[in-house]
Amino acid sequence: MSLLRTEPVGSIPRPAYLQQAMAAFANGDIAQTELDRLTDQAIQETITAFEKTGSPVITDGEQSKPSFATYPIAGLEGLLPNGVVIPFADGHTRQLPVISKGPFRYVQSADTFLKRAKRYTSLPVKQAVIATSAISLLYPQGGIEGYSQEAFLADLVNEAETEIRNCFNAGAYNVQIDFTEARLALKLDPSKQLLRAFINLNNQVLNRFSPDEQARIGVHSCPGGDHDSTHSADISYDELLPLLFELNAGNFYLEYAAEKNKQGVLSAIKESLKPTQRVFLGVTNVLDPRVETAQEISELILEAAQVLPIHQLGTTDDCGFSPFADDVSTARDIAFAKIKARIDGTALAEKKLL
């Protein structure tokens, strides 16, 4: 096994034909069978391109997900549009829906994406799932008659556990929990009470798994990437990291390349990282169209290796390249070029560390 493990975060920009098909299906202009055909084509093309980068672990690029956050509830009956609004630095927003009735159940589980992807590759496939804390925001502030928030959260924790177990049973190499609302929680509530509540809720799910299973579960955190903008990059990473590593997971995939205070980030990680945990530092800036060189990435890794234990260090991308299906801010060829640069740069750093 390599000294330095390297894995993608997940999402890859969808081909134009798939984005057009998704819009056409939503408008009732094409049938489900046609959307499925084009989605399978995009998944196969994405996996083939992933394999050509030399990546030891791949994903399906989240080609069939409408969004990394709301895929479990796509098509859920009784959704209302007046949920939490997430503002981004460039002025655009994303708004979550809210549920209007219980009991709460996932409409779609992430293992369905995994099974679809594994038809086209023999390489290890990791599967991303949305954090329980993110889905918890779907409960309306005014409550639901006959369905308490406590009952909703109990249902949600059960659904989240089942989803992860289904992914393992379907052959996932590992499972990555997308927890991008972590940094945003500090922006919304500097007292950290909201973040602590999020971590407690996510740990309710993680604590249902054995230590060996937790070692195959990771957590991804970043300041939110969408249309080359972020929702919480102005919040100090140093405030988040000590609490983030309280999550009972084995792997952490963190934005790093775009961080300005890199030494501060490394120091916070060193102080908080547990012996059983590994940190995958982002070494490609997904919001910058310039493709990093392997040498630049190697130097970034070597700098980190001076602070962090090498056996607990890995590399990844700062974030997914297209967490929302309609995000066209990054071209597919640039995304794969950055992934190839990460892999080559990691290999170069490894040679120098041996």
Peptide bond into 103 cis (omega under 30): yes
Listed residue (188, 185, 190) closest to 221, CA to CA: 185
Q: How many domains does the chain have?
A: 1
- Domain interval for residue 109: 5-353
pLDDT interval class at 110 (50, 70, 90): very high
Domain at 33, CATH number: 3.20.20.210
Quote the longest CA-to-CA distance of the chain.
Answer: 62
Q: Look up residue 174 and give its two tokens.
A: 């590992």
pLDDT in tens, 299-319: 999 999 999 999 999 999 999
CA distance 129 to 72: 9
User: DSSP characters for 167-228?
Assistant: HHHTT-S-EEEE-THHHHHHHH-TTSHHHHHHHHHHHHHHTTS-HHHHTTEEEEE-S--BTT
Find, among 221, 217, 288, the residue nearest to 251 by Cα. 217
Instruction: Kindly indicate the confidence band of residue 1, based on its pLDDT and cuts at 50, 70 and 90.
Output: low
pTM of structure: 0.96
What's residue 353's pLDDT? 95
Mean predicted confidence (pLDDT) in 249-254:
98
Task: Report pLDDT digits (tens) over 16-32.
Answer: 999 999 999 999 999 99
Residue 235 CA neighbour count, 13 Å, CB half: 27
Query: Tens digits of per-residue pLDDT, 257-291?
Result: 999 999 999 999 999 999 999 999 999 999 999 99
